[in-house]
Structure 1
Amino acid sequence: MLENFSEIRVETPVDKIIKQIRSLISSGQLAPGDRLPAERKLAEKLAVSRSNIRDAIQKLEFYGILKTLPQSGTVVAGIGITALEGLITDVLKLEKSDFSSLVETRVILEVNAAELAAERRTPEDIIELNKALAAYEKKVRAGKQAVEEDLLFHLKIAEASKNAVLKSLMLIITPDIVNNFIQYKVCDDNSELKVYHEHEQILEHIINRDSEAAAKAMRAHLHEVTAFSKSKNILR
């Protein structure tokens, strides 16, 4: 019986700000290239702190929905990925029974991304991957969840694959999968450190240009989320 209950998630001010902005984009009230009001004005209008506004904008930038341009402020990014990302979110809300299909797609994309990254990576890619790995380790050792840092590491692998379409597809489906996984699974310090060491192994294979080993390590790394998606579908 307990399995039929789901965790109740209390929305933070940042969550509510993000929801409003995404709603305005999906409804067409905010179009690509439109500029958002200044942080101060938004904070006054929404009755929240400027730090809440800043955090929401940073998260939406991370997912490619907004972008900040020098001397131009924060604007809505291209509609392609933004629209699709919104559609994927709606699908996850309405058809959670198909969650495993999204995870299967992620595995296909990420395994191939790791393989291609090992073949095509540049010295600059290795620098960026090391930075992303260090950011993840810092959060984990501080006892904090590192969802965005985890995702960033995987996206840097996709960038190193030199396949822009593959990266775009990952950007669409991965954030909701990762957040869903974190929401329903209790992640302790040991499991977070395990993920860190798995990241280390994947990066080592990419550095050594061992495409077969990189793909195999990525598949093993995603085994847990794959098993989780199957069990989640069964429970529902």
Structure 2
Amino acid sequence: MDMSLTATILEKTTLSEQVKTYILNLITEQKLNPGTEVPSEKQLIETLGVSRGVIREAFQSLSTLGVLDISSGKRPRVQTVNPTALGTIFHYSMATRQVSASQILELRCALEVNCAGLAAIHGTEQDFEQLREEMKQIRISFGNHQQFIIHDARFHLILASATNNPLYSLLLQALRASLEESIAAGLQAQDSQKHAEQIVDFHQQITDCVCARDAEGARKMMQAHFDSAINALINSSKI
């Protein structure tokens, strides 16, 4: 291997990392909010004395991490937190068999049980109304696996939002994204009237407890939901 070429690659990588660190420190020190512009390519070239390619590499890296929005034709802005980067990590952790679907489900269960309790405590009447409406859609759509998964996801994200802690929404979206196909396969494998009624009933009991601000009851019902419905998916050997 050409050692001069290797040195050049390492040098560029080091410069890109330095630019990335500079931008991250800038965001932290200036307390920049989502949507706020960061220095342009031209400004960073003048300030840091590096090439346009190095700046773009740093921008791309920060975009992949979900820190910057680098939409074409626009000056880079601080990105609103989103689950994309975490979702990618979970997806490839499963794809490379470093973690299993059941391990992700165990983590999701721990989060969702606490989530249900916090939603009962911190949720607003608007949150509760949205939850009731999504509950109706779950009942209507259960026979349609694709639609059920959509409404089930919304149901759990409403609960996450109602906790008044954005980290729950972030984590649950990232965890669920890596399990969509497995959940669908499990639903098909467990397709029976009894199972359908059980899943819908657990969602209804969770809704009732949360809307009644019964935090302990909401936690118990969410735990029962995972112990029954989600464990059934694991035992189906489809995930």
Contact between 1:26 and 1:83, CA under 8 Å: does it hold in 2? no
Contact between 1:114 and 1:206, CA under 8 Å: does it hold in 2? yes
- TM-score normalized by structure 2? 0.61
2:139 pairs, out of 126, 130, 137, with: 137
The equivalent residue for 1:154 is 156
* CA deviation string 1:66-102 (max 9, x = no partner): xxxxxx9xxxx75752111112111121117522221
The AA in structure 1 aligned to 2:202 is E
The equivalent residue for 1:95 is 97
Deviation larger for 219-228 or 86-95: 219-228
* CA deviation string 1:108-149 (max 9, x = no partner): 100000011111111011111112112222212568651111
Aligned identity (percent) is 24
The equivalent residue for 1:33 is 69
The AA in structure 1 aligned to 2:197 is L
- The answer to whether structure 1 residue 211 and structure 2 residue 219 are counterparts is no
* CA deviation string 1:26-57 (max 9, x = no partner): 9979x853558xxxxxxxxxxxxxxxxxxxxx
1:192 pairs, out of 193, 196, 205, with: 196
SS, match of residue 209 in structure 1: coil
Q: CA RMSD in A?
A: 3.4
Structure 1, unaligned stretches of length 5 or more? 1-24, 37-71
How many angstroms apart in 2 are the aligned matches of 1:192 and 1:230?
A: 17
Contact between 1:116 and 1:211, CA under 8 Å: does it hold in 2? yes
- The structure with the larger Rg is 2
The equivalent residue for 1:12 is none
SS, match of residue 222 in structure 1: helix
How many angstroms apart in 2 are the aligned matches of 1:80 and 1:127?
A: 25
The equivalent residue for 1:175 is 177
The AA in structure 1 aligned to 2:94 is L
Instruction: State the number of aligned residues.
Output: 174
The equivalent residue for 2:224 is 220
Structure 1 runs, 4 residues or longer, greater than 6 Å off? 25-29
Deviation larger for 141-150 or 188-197: 141-150
The equivalent residue for 2:18 is none
Structure 2, unaligned stretches of length 5 or more? 1-59
- TM-score normalized by structure 1? 0.62
Contact between 2:93 and 2:99, CA under 8 Å: does it hold in 1? no
Contact between 1:121 and 1:160, CA under 8 Å: does it hold in 2? yes
